[in-house]
Amino acid sequence: MPRKRLTQVFPGLLSMRKKQRLFCFYLGMRMDGNRYAETREKDTLPHIVYASTCPMYNPDTGFDMIYQENKVFNIKLAAQELSRVLIRPGETFSFWHLVRWADKRVPYKDALMESDGRLKPLYGGGLCQLSNLLFWLFLHTHLTILERHGHAQKGFPEPQSDAPMGVDATVYEGWLDLKARNDTAYTFQLDFSFSETEVTGSIRCRDKLPTAIAVSNENLVYRREQGGVFEEVDVVQTFLDQSGKAPLNKRTLYRNRCRINYPIPEDWIVTEQEDSHG
């Protein structure tokens, strides 16, 4: 049985621990030598590098839909701090550097968030959908990903999206951030818009980039291990010519692994873990 953390044994210490962690988290960012992106430009830059639209409501979570409404509220609140932000040459994007004070005047609402391996309604929940979208946009640029954390598990089926599997980035203030540095000569800009049911994120540029990037999956496998099913898949970048048709080269970015915590479809092929004892 895993050893419990001190804050699990004494829950009253959690608030103090969070304050300590946040202080160290932001102090570290002030001293790490990065120049963080925070400048906004009123007008959008002319060239769209990549844009993606995804549904904001997921009816398959097993929880009351009020938490989906609350998630949408939280996403819109945070997106206000990200829209029209420039990521100039030499600058580093940090999710929390920009979103830190999003709830200063209007508080977040309780929405679904993974905590201690379980999905539960918590203050400010649901922001991972926004960080997922940001990471998906970044993968279509030449930005250097400095920090990204995949979800350890999936609590419910993912809503339909143009993103392949394993392209996610969980965030948790004080612990987990999404960071990307602009090592190019180009200036990028983030932009977000909303319909009643969908969010559209785009990353734009002052100049047309010389190459396009496609992101896909390879080597998908499901394994039954440790009493559960795990999804493993490679996330691959393919660099294309400016037309977006002719491949130039490709590279595997990482192999994503997460546990599936919902009933799997019958047509999934699951590899059984081999018995090490023969």
pLDDT per residue as tens digits for the range 57-81: 999 888 999 999 999 999 999 999 9
Q: Does the pLDDT at position 274 exceed 50?
A: yes
11-20, 49-58, 98-107, 230-239: the lowest-pLDDT one:
11-20
Q: Name the β-bridge partners of 231.
A: 222, 258
**Confidence (pTM):** 0.91
Q: Name the β-bridge partners of 154.
A: 260
10-19, 169-178, 246-255: the lowest-pLDDT one:
10-19
For residue 14, the model assigns a pLDDT of 67
Tokens representing residue 154 in the block: 């999936």
Q: Name the β-bridge partners of 54.
A: 199
